[in-house]
Homo-oligomer: A and B are copies of this chain.
């Protein structure tokens, strides 16, 4: 399999982080230059059907995009350590938290960066009203996450899961615009430190 990747972009980073947590080393990484529009070229679109990164080319030539679909597929091929849930009920709780952090934290913060950082204007015309709206929602999401992390080490289970990866990478992307994380959110701060201390944080950058 081959993973088409773009360094620094948050959605591809989820898959690379996931691969480090799993110890997956036999998937070739193919860099694609997002800011130069390499993902919009005809040969890319013909292979993947959408101008999206990350993209996974399977052994049979078929292709997948969407970071979470790719991660869940990789979990079926590399089951340990488990990051999506071991029972239907645990899987549901992890997916519930994955969605809460995606829609409440990661997506709004990623949209904030996208509509604020000048270098990303090549991807989409910056819209300050959209940036402000998303930043407000993202901050509300950070407080929700801080509340969930009260007395808990990880977001959705007694171990790191895909919910932690998606949340952290969304939050960490705001370094690009130097957005401060409120220091009053002490549970969130402790969890951010724990995520930054993982080996994956150094490899999947």
Chain A contact residues, CB within 8 Å of chain B: 50, 58, 62, 64-66, 68-70, 72-73, 76-77, 88-89, 91-93, 95-96, 99-100, 103, 107, 127, 129-130, 133, 144
Contacts and interface: CB of A to CB of B under 8 A. Distances in A.
A120 B146 CA distance: 28
A100 B50 contact: yes
B99 A68 contact: yes
A91 B66 contact: no
B69 A96 contact: yes
A106 to B, nearest CB: 12
A95 B77 contact: no
Choose among A70, A77, A133 the residue with the greatest number of B CB atoms under 10 Å from its CB.
A133
Contacts of A144: 50
A127 B48 CA distance: 35
Nearest to A55: B96
A93 B64 contact: yes
Given A127-B133, A129-B130, A130-B133, A69 B92 contact: yes
- Sorted from nearest, which 9 A-B pairs have the closest CB atoms? A76-B88, A129-B129, A73-B92, A69-B95, A69-B96, A66-B96, A66-B99, A69-B92, A130-B133
Contact of A96 (B65, B89, B103, B107): B65
B68 A77 contact: no
A92 B77 contact: no
A54 B68 CA distance: 22
A165 B96 CA distance: 18
Contacts of A130: 129-130, 133
Nearest to A49: B148
A83 B58 CA distance: 23
A2 B127 CA distance: 42
A171 to B, nearest CB: 19
A94 to B, nearest CB: 8
Contacts of A96: 64-66, 69
